[in-house]
Structure 1
Amino acid sequence: MTGKVLSLSRARKTRARDDRKRKADENAARFGRTRAEREAEAARAAQEAARLEAHRRDEE
């Protein structure tokens, strides 16, 4: 064996840290939006709901 000697516990901790970082980056990309983006989306949804409600037929 002419490979580099390394601590298995250190390698395990490094791998775990890298996995947590990768998952955090994925979550940030998936859920990370600014307040302005969230509010604009909510306003669009409210506008769509109001438009749909305005076109609802009255039941007699």
Structure 2
Amino acid sequence: MGDIVNLRTHRRQRARKQDAQQAADNRSRFGRTPAQIARDEADAARGKALLDGARIDPDPVATGE
């Protein structure tokens, strides 16, 4: 004969496993670590500084300003 199983406990365990699996899927899909976010922000700032440094301002005499 099989073991006696409390169905309510079994349902709760199954729900917890499903929730944990859903959370893992969401983390892999949408999650980024704080280090990744900081790295991306630093890359964007570096790129912006590079572009600003290479900008050629128009000659105010030629434009009539």
Q: Aligned ranges for residues 26-45 of structure 1 at < 5 Å?
A: 26-33=25-32, 34-36=36-38, 38-39=40-41, 43=44
Structure showing greater radius of gyration is 2
For residue 11 of structure 2, what is the amino acid of its counterpart?
R
Overall identity of the aligned pairs, in %: 38
TM-score (norm 1): 0.57
Structure 1 residues 21 and 38, CA gap change in structure 2 (3 angstroms): farther
Report the aligned-residue RMSD: 2.4
In structure 2, what is the Cα distance between the partners aligned to 1:25 and 1:19?
10
Runs of 4+ in 1 over 2 A off after TM superposition: 36-41
Uncovered stretches (5+) of structure 1, i.e. residues with no partner: 48-60
CA distance in 2, matches of 1:16, 1:3: 23
Gaps of 5+ in 2: 49-65
- Distance (whole Å) between structure 2 residues aligned to residue 28 and residue 37 of structure 1: 19
